[in-house]
Amino acid sequence: MKKRMLGNTGMEVSVIGFGGIPIQRVNQEEATKIVLECRDRGINFIDTARGYTVSEEYIGNALKKAGRENFYIATKAMGYDYESMKNFIEESLKTMQLDYIDLYQVHNVSKMEQLDTVLSENGALKALVEAKEKGLIKHIGITGHIREILLKAIENDEFETVQFPFNPVESQGTELFTKALEKGMGTIAMKPIAGGAFGKGKLSLKYIMNSNLITVAIPGMDSVSQVAENAAIGIDGEPLTQEEMEEIKKEVESLGNDFCRRCGYCKPCPEGIDIPNVFVYEGYAIRYNLPEYGKLKYDGMPVKADACVRCRKCERKCPYNLHIVDKLKHAVETFKNLE
């Protein structure tokens, strides 16, 4: 497995990491087998989150057999103020039964006000810095889906890594990753197969490996066979052939513009709908085959997709000309069918 330095952290991580969302749909025994396969295939970077229900628990238990020393463990939490983040760090350590976590990230900063809170005197960053000083965490990162917010965030030197969507159909993170690399930050590609929308997963990972923008890509995996297939891309290390580039081009064209990139330009919705997250949660239910988790996240939204009054202000702001109103209607039906 090829390895790269994760920015200036000193961590030499495998170019293919393990994304911890999908193991929510397997049991502990299978999760342990998956983590063991990661170890045997040379994958040494695991990413999970407080919000991924049993993921942290499964990973922590699996490490007892797979060996904590064989992995760099990254997790994250949507705690933006000091107390929330402090509590989340303690919960992660307890749940995963670890003395320290290699990388703790502020998870899914989607509003500039949230970033302001994170960076404030009593913000999450203060809690992360304190935890780092105590040795509870080793490094600090940030994740999100809105480029402009993360571009602002990485101006703060405390952040050592940045995690953002990147794949052949989602290249809006190019400027962000370029600037992060110039600062010596590690770059982590979430949604490397576009949440399952990109049909040629191996080619998508190979594309990312050849982009010179990404330190580690973290495809979600819920089977031993998926680990073997994805790990092989990290071993290959060959440049894309002309034929492969043509395949990628055709796949991108087939997806067309009917695909939410979560750029956030559609916001704010006059009715208060968090439009990008509606599609993210629907994706969990449909593409990730996590209907219960997707519905749980959707049900927790203060304003649901059925609040849409079809004003179409979002559509006029969408740079990809998506039929957002129709897609929201589709989401309403998706979650109604899950009841």
Q: Which of 47, 44, 49, 48 is nearest to 12 (CA)?
A: 44
Q: How many CA atoms lie within 13 A of 270 on its CB side?
A: 9
**pLDDT below 70 — which residues of the chain?**
256-257, 263, 319
According to DSSP, the residues that pair with 101 across neighbouring strands are 137
pLDDT digits (tens, 9 = 90+) for 167-204: 998 888 999 999 999 999 999 999 898 877 787 889 99
Q: Residue 4: what residue type?
A: R
pLDDT, position 257: 63
Burial 136-164 (b: 16+ CB within 10 A, else e): bbbbbbbbbbbbebbbebbeeeebbbbbb
Kindly report the number of other CB atoms within 10 A of residue 126's CB atom. Answer: 18
Which CATH number, 3.40.50.300, 3.20.20.100, 3.40.50.1980, 2.70.70.10, labels domain 3-246?
Answer: 3.20.20.100
pLDDT at 78: 95
Q: What is the dihedral of CA 138, 140, 145, 148, to 10 degrees?
A: -160
pTM equals 0.84
Residue partners of 140: CB distance under 8 A and separation at least 6: 103, 104, 105, 125, 128, 129, 132, 158, 159, 160, 161
pLDDT at 132: 98
Question: What are the domain boundaries of the chain?
Answer: 3-246, 275-337
